[in-house]
Amino acid sequence: MKSQITRILVVDDDRQIGSLLCGYLSDFGMEADAAYDGTHMRVLLSNARYSLVVLDLMLPGEDGLSLCRWLRSNSNIPVIILTARGESSDRIVGLELGADDYVVKPFDPRELVARIQTVLRRANAPDPQEPRSSEEVQFGAWRLRRTPRNLIDPNGLVVALSNTEYRLLDVFLMRRGQVLTRDELMDAARGRSVEAFDRGIDLLISRLRQKLREDVKDPRMIRTIRGEGYIFDCRDVIQ
């Protein structure tokens, strides 16, 4: 059986860097195309199916953060953002917008390859091995469809989820009523091989709460247990 081709879209306004990265990725059996701005990126995405987008934040015109927001609103494709060493705030915002990981410039291309492989393994990995009675789970007025990975709001509209957000919500639903530590949630949502920073899981939780339209000051479904972690408190769950 023919193996699935891993196709990467590199978005960087530096044409030399884009060309070099595409060539390097091809050495690892990946097909890669380069886009140089948001318009070019959208054209390529409309004409081909990509496994992952590597997105530089510093772009002319529409910047990488805006493009990351657009990608997350329109697809579930994994995104790795490229940031300069001093752009810690942009890195955090990128993760809040739904990026799956980040790489800091300057970087060893081998690190980028490792990150791509890790994110793709996580995106394509089977869910935690616990039996499910349905491909759809209803909690309150919300529904989570496991195939495809869609969140449906109370009005029947699809709410886009990144791979990390999906995995985080799924583990909350499977282990509802249990206090989960930050390490347990990081394992489920991002994978321990991904370098985490102190606020990583808290940002993911904040992002998921926003998608679920939780009251920031008084969240009801995803509650913080001080000194321990988080608990998903929803008794009206149908699987």
Chain segment 88-145, per-residue pLDDT in tens: 677 777 777 778 888 888 888 899 999 998 888 877 655 444 444 467 888 888 989 8
Confidence of residue 236 (pLDDT cuts 50, 70, 90): low
**Among the listed residues 96, 56, 54, 97, the one whose alpha carbon sits nearest the alpha carbon of residue 79:** 54
pLDDT of 197 reads 46
Give the whole-angstrom CA distance, residue 82 versus residue 85. 10
Cα(90)–Cα(83) distance, rounded to whole angstroms? Answer: 8
Provide the pLDDT for residue 133.
Answer: 47
Would you identify the CATH topology of the domain 7-124? Answer: Rossmann fold (3.40.50)
Write the CATH number of the domain with boundaries 136-238.
1.10.10.10
Summarised one tens digit per residue, pLDDT across range 10-59 is 999 999 989 999 999 999 999 999 999 999 999 999 999 999 999 999 89
CA–CA dist 213, 152 (Å, integer) = 12
Starting from the edge strand earliest in sequence, which strands make up the sheet with 237-238, in order? 158-159, 150-152, 142-145, 136-139, 237-238
Sorted by where each begins, the domain ranges of the chain are 7-124, 136-238
**What is the value of pTM for the model shown?**
0.64
Return the residue matching tokens 């953060």.
Answer: 65
Amino acid at 134: S
Closest CA to 21 of 82, 101, 77: 82
Pick the closest to residue 164 from 147, 143, 179, 149 (CA basis).
Answer: 149
Give one word for 177, left, alpha or beta, with left for phi > 0 and alpha for psi -120 to 50: left
Report the C-alpha gap between 194 and 89 in whole angstroms.
19
Cis amide bond preceding 106, omega within 30? yes
